[in-house]
Every structure is written in C-alpha cells, then in structure tokens.
Structure 1
Amino acid sequence: MGSCYLIIIDGLGVGAQEDAHLYGDAGSNTLGHVVARSRCRLPEFERMGLGNIIPLDTVAPVWEPLAAFGKMREASSGKDSTTGHWEIAGLQLERPFPTYENGFPDDVIENFCSLTGLGGVLANKPASGTAVIEEYGEEHQKTGLPIVYTSADSVFQIACDVDTVPLETLYDWCEIARKKVMVDEHAVGRVIARPFAGKPGSFRRLSDQRHDYSLKPFEPFLPGYLQEKGIETWSVGKVIDLFAECGFDHSRRTKSNAEGIELLLEVMELNNRGFVFVNLIETDQNFGHRNDIEGFAQALEEIDREVPRILKKLKPDDLLIITGDHGNDPAMPSTDHSREFTPLLIYPGNKATTMELPIRNSFSDIAVSVCDFYGLENPFPGKSFLNKQHI
C-alpha cells in the first residue's frame, strides 16, 4: 500500500455548473477563459489529460493521457474554500454558510465591539481586500479602528496595519469573533485576519501573516477519519486552517506555490503510506480575486513545470489526485469565487475505473476513493472512481 497525494489548485474551475446562475456566475469558465485570453501553454498537464476534460485553445486533448480525467460537480450549497475543501473531505452542506451582501447586522458589530472594547469599526461592507484597505487604511491608522469587511463568501475579515494594531491583538480580535460573535445563525465559514503595512497609496497585504479561523468540521471528515484508522496525515498550505487545525498529524503553512511544491517534494521523501493534502493558493488569492488573467496563467505554467518532479517522486503504489475547490474566473466582472465544475486528474490512470470518467456528482467522491485506496470502510456519501484491481 502506497501514499495518497491530493493537490488542490485553488480556484481552478472548468465551466459553470447548471445552477451557476443562482450565484451570479452564469458563463464562468476559469480555466477555459484563462487559457483563451493568455494563450498559455501547459505541456505537462496536457500530457496528463487536462485538455481532454474541456476544450482548451492551447492545451490539446491527447490520445493516451497519463492520468484518468473528468470533472466534478459541487453538491453542497456555496462556492467558498471551506465548502469546497469540506466536501472533498466528505462533508456535504445542506445549507450554505451565511453571507452578508449588505454588511454585517448592527447586533453583530455591537457584540464584536462590546467584547473587544472597541469604539466602532470601519467599512462593514462587502469589498475587495486591496480596495477596502486603500479606501479605509489612512483612517484606520489615525483612529486605530479595525477595517471589518466581507465578500460574496462566508467570511468575517478584519484588516489592520501592523504598526497601528499589534499582530497579536488582531489575532485576539479574530479569536473573539470566531468563538463568541460569528456563532449560531452567524456561524460563517471563516474569520480571517488580514494584516497589512505601508502608507496611503502604497499599502500591501502581508499574506504570510494572514490567519484563517475556520469552523470545526463535523464528524466524520476524511483527514480525521484517516487519523483514527492509523493513517498519517499531512497538510501543506492553508488546508489545516480550513479544518480548524483538526485532523492532521503534520502541517506546513506556505507563503507561495513555489514553497508549497518544495514542501510537498520534501514530504514525499519523508512520507510512508500517509495522506498528504496540499493547497496551492496563488491562482485564487493573488490572481483570481484581482481579475489578473496573465498572473493566473503564469501561476498555472509554474505549477505545470513542476509536474515532472512530482511524478518522479511517486512510488509505484502511490496515488496522485489533482483538482480544484471552486472557480475564480478572472475574465468575469466579479472578483469573487464562481460556481463551477472542477477538474479531476488521477495518476496513474490505470488506478481509475476508466480513463474518461463520467461527471462526478459530488466532490465527496474523492473522500470515498481515498478510503477505497487505503482499504477502509467508507462512511462518506459518494462513489469511488478507483479500480480495486489496481490499488
């Protein structure tokens, strides 16, 4: 029995789901639009079969792909990172996490201020992180009041200049928001600390000091279940934050995709029969949310160049799964996530039931398949895509 490696390319969608119009995302196609507009080349992903999933202008379908290929439909309501990662881990949400298109209600802000001793907050509206800091950063530096904002996702975000509010104070405020304010009907998927630095006109977010405070996942969920069964679990990137630091024996946070891939390669040297859950965030965080098509394309090309190194590290019994957690189409007017199918690549391809997989009806098929891979009884909804004769 080998190891299982699950890589999430954050925000990588492959076309609008049937219900995308309900989310304002009709016509979204993150990968299709990025490839068409940038004319980027992804030769390693092409060899794996990425161009067999959907038509792509510069990534051709191949006759004998290295990986089994398909796409997955999100069954849960929502399109945020927590929902996507939780469903991948076998947790389907019947109701979406709460969102706030007009900002947070007065009682939420009053409760937050009462518990933190603050005299108020700035912004309290849905906004782009970079834009809201430019708009309110100077006032924040003068008053010390935190910038509180949300987005189309289920998030309560607090932005503070590190020279105005100490980082530990920002983290304390987020802990209070997570544990005492954003609870019950206001239990958002994530409370996020968003530190920044600089002067008006040149503020910059400090992504390496960002911290996410997620809800604790309910049981069972894939990493925790594997732990209980004696399978060693690893988190690389922001994954551990999305599961409230539950379910992992080892975790390594990252500042960039390059660092994430290097850490993955290191873990592959150390790992023996374990489960490694990786998130490569830059496509989403740095480029999707900023409508930066060229940046998104360059991030994909950087990942593509590293594919041979990853494949070379795999042992004969290992399994590699590559997918996304939602869409984030930089070619659309919105700067938020998009409700899209996600790609599915399974390497080596003969471990799958067929090279061309039918559309999966839930991201949870990954959790079911990972249980199949380790020969464990399956407690999750969904259907395995693995061929038991080859695992």
Structure 2
Amino acid sequence: MSRAIILVIDSFGIGYAPDADKFGDRSANTFANLAQAYYQEKQQPINIPNLASLGLVAACEQASNRTFPYVGGKPEKGAYGYAAEISSGKDTPSGHWEMTGVPVLFDWDYFTNKEQSFSVELLEKISKKTGVKSILGNCHASGTTIIEQYGEDHINSGMPICYTSADSVFQVAAHEESFGLANLYTYCEQVRELLDDEKLNIGRVIARPFVGNDASNFQRTGNRRDYSVLPPSKTVLDKVCAKNVGDVISVGKIADIFAHQGINVTTKATGLDALIDATLEHIKQRKNESIIFTNLVNFDQDYGHRRDPIGYAKALEHLDRRLPEFYQLMNDEDILFMTADHGCDPTWPGSDHTREYVPQLVYSKSIKSVNLGERNTFADLGQTIAEMFNVSPMDYGTSYFTEISD
C-alpha cells in the first residue's frame, strides 16, 4: 500500500512570488539569501548534496534566476518545481490549507496597530471572560524578545503576556510554573471563544509557554498549542480520513493548524531531530495506506523569525544529512513530498513572513528526474494527494501524479 510522507520545511521560500510587491517582499529569497550569507560568513558553501540531487537548487534558480555557492550536484532523482500561493495572506494556516487543496480566498482580520494592538473594549471583554484582570505587552513583538522584556513582570504580577504580529494571531505567553500550563490553555480557549463570538476572523490563538527564573534564561517550551479556526471547506486530509482505509497522521503542529479536523493520529514532538525521529517511527510502524504529515517548525521559529541565516543554513544541512534515513524506510510505492507554507527570509528587514514561491520536491524509488516547473498554486500538492489516494478531486489545483508515476 502506498503512503504519502509530507515534510513542510516551515518558512522555506525559494524566491519572491509574483505578487510580492503587494506585501513589500520583492527580492526576498529565503534559500538564496541564507546560502549567500552563510558563504560570506563561513567562507564555505552550504553543503546540501541530497537536497540538490532532488532538484532544490534547480527549483530555486528557476523560480528566482539566482545562483549561489553550494555543495551538491544537479538533479538526478525525484521531481522538482516551485509553487506560488493564491491565498490572500502569507500566514501558516493559509499555506497549509492551500497545500491540502483549500486556499484562503478571504481576508483575515488583523491587529494592525504596532502598539496598543488590542482595543480597550476587547481587553475589557477578555478580562470579563477569563477573570484575569489585565495583560502585559499588547503590541507587535517577537516571541522571544517579549518574554525577555515582560517575563519577570509576568511572574510577579500574574498577568499574561499578550501580543500579535503581522499574521492574524492573538498570542499568549505565560510561565509554565507560576501561571500554570493548564491555566494558559484555559485562558487561550476562552480568548478563542470570545474572538469567535465577536465575529473577529482571527486565524489562531497561540499558547506560548515558557520556563526559567529571569530574563537571562527564559526559554519557550515544546508545549505550545494553537487554537485555529476550521478550514473553510473539506481538505484532502478530510477525504482520505473519511475513506477509512489508513491513517492521517500529524507530527508536530499540523493537527493544531487544521483544528484537529481530518487527522486521526496526533504525535507531538519538540526540536528538529525529535520531529524527524517521530516521522521516521511512523514510517516504520504504519504499513497501511496513510498520510504522514510533519511540520518542521524550527526553521521558522528558531531561524526565520529570529533572522538567523547561519543557524537556518546549518539546520538545512542537518536535514540534508538525515534525508537518506527516509529513503531507506520507504517502500516502492511510498512518495515523499517536501514543501513549505510561506517564506521567512532571515536576511529580510523585520521579523515577519515573506511572500515567496515554495519548493515542490518529490521522491520515490521509481522517479529519476522530473522537472515540474512553475505551479500556480500550492493546491497542486493537495490535488496530487487526492489522485494518489483515489478520492474525489479538490476544487483547486492541478495534479502532477501522472508525471511522478511514469
């Protein structure tokens, strides 16, 4: 029985998208810019022979007409291409929903004010709903910076740290011990309910727990939880799950992104190696017709948003070294898909996502080298999965299943 393994290299863009001007992201290129920065600082090219052989560098060159130093050859196995996003935003849910066949063609609501992001009226309603008198923060911020700034006040006052970003999010940071993890989850659930009741179309409320004694050692933990709205229609995950032949398995934050709809097995993991290990373990265990869907969040949260091109490059090299482990466990009918949900160029001003093409890399033991070219929507992946699992077609996207099956 064939299985689909989907690895989302969170934030791994490969060149600015056709509509990047609208987002102020013209010339953003997560891959090319981090590779160039790595070469300039380390005086050696990024070492990615396995990804290069799948066509990653070739896809980036086609998408952006950029070249840069790297160690690795030309495409020789698998299929490669690059996809543009048709969803209205460059956020996490939009990217993931679109890749599963459901683009977001409406506009999210946002908290656009950089300071005093949440109105007095909304905060009063949150206080009444939660019983928590007040908050700290109330601004656009980086998740690591804001706990350094407000973490000690939070421990002393018991007030949660609430903040947002350019995405459609309401984020809540709280100390796991002094505030309590269960209390944090309850607070976020109540905020989610309130935003829905107020008809505010905010994509996610995110619980961001942390530990530590003071600003010098505060550290976020792996107990993050996302409270998302549901996708606007059934994704390909729903269709495969309803077929009731195999499993749809979430590794990492995938289940939260889809509000746990279309998922019947959930595995939490923290850290790049832990996410990879959990995915490999599912490949070992699941012998039936299944989707194993993993988000490698560390590329985004640890390196993209923190504007760390060197760390990003090293993480990419590490993923490259571990790729053969996937190949060894896959059977003849398995297909590995590698893509991203948006860009987050670590050399770009600010700390927000960037509007970019994302890679479409495909590996199976039977594919030699196929150029998939430019794809007009991330939904081509969802349509391909639908054909692979013989479920009804999605409303968006063009399948490339025949091209990778010849």
- TM-score, normalised relative to structure 2: 0.91
Give the 3-state SS of the residue equivalent to 2:7 in structure 1. strand
RMSD: 1.9
Is 1:166 aligned to 2:167, yes or no? no
Q: Is the 8 A contact 1:351 1:387 kept in 2?
A: no
The alpha carbon displacement at 1:14 in A equals 0.5
Is 1:270 aligned to 2:276, yes or no? no
Q: Is the 8 A contact 1:50 1:61 kept in 2?
A: no
The alpha carbon displacement at 1:33 in A equals 0.7
Is 1:146 aligned to 2:160, yes or no? yes
Distance 2:396 2:215 in 1: 49
Show CA shifts across 1:167-207 (max 9, x none). 11111000001122355542211111111222333142333
Instruction: Find the counterpart in structure 2 of residue 333 from structure 1.
Output: 349
Show CA shifts across 1:138-176 (max 9, x none). 222222111110011111001112232111111100000
Change (3 A) 1:136 1:388: closer
Distance 1:223 1:301 in 2: 30
Q: Is the 8 A contact 1:236 1:251 kept in 2?
A: yes
Is 1:47 aligned to 2:33, yes or no? no
Mapping of residues 1-391 of structure 1, within 5 Å: 1-39=1-39, 40-55=46-61, 56-59=67-70, 62-102=73-113, 103-183=117-197, 185-230=199-244, 231-271=246-286, 272-348=288-364, 355-387=370-402, 390=405
The alpha carbon displacement at 1:62 in A equals 4.6
Distance 1:163 1:115 in 2: 23
Change (3 A) 1:70 1:350: farther
Identity over the aligned pairs, expressed in percent?
Answer: 34
Distance 1:34 1:116 in 2: 43
Distance 2:157 2:176 in 1: 14
Q: Is the 8 A contact 1:52 1:61 kept in 2?
A: no
Letter in 1 for 2:204: R
Distance 2:88 2:364 in 1: 32
Q: 5+ unaligned residues in a row in structure 2: which ranges?
A: 40-45, 62-66
- The range that moved more, 63-72 or 195-204, is 195-204
Q: Is the 8 A contact 1:144 1:165 kept in 2?
A: yes
Distance 2:280 2:156 in 1: 45
Change (3 A) 1:76 1:349: farther
Change (3 A) 1:118 1:151: same
The alpha carbon displacement at 1:94 in A equals 1.4
Q: Is the 8 A contact 1:4 1:318 kept in 2?
A: yes
The alpha carbon displacement at 1:351 in A equals 5.7
Change (3 A) 1:291 1:366: same
Q: 5+ unaligned residues in a row in structure 1: which ranges?
A: none
Give the number of aligned pairs.
390
Q: Could you list the runs of 4 or more consecutive aligned residues of structure 1 that deviate by over 6 angstroms after TM superposition?
A: none
The alpha carbon displacement at 1:43 in A equals 1.0
Letter in 2 for 1:338: T
Q: Is the 8 A contact 2:279 2:294 kept in 1?
A: yes
Show CA shifts across 1:1-36 (max 9, x none). 411111100010001112212222222100111111
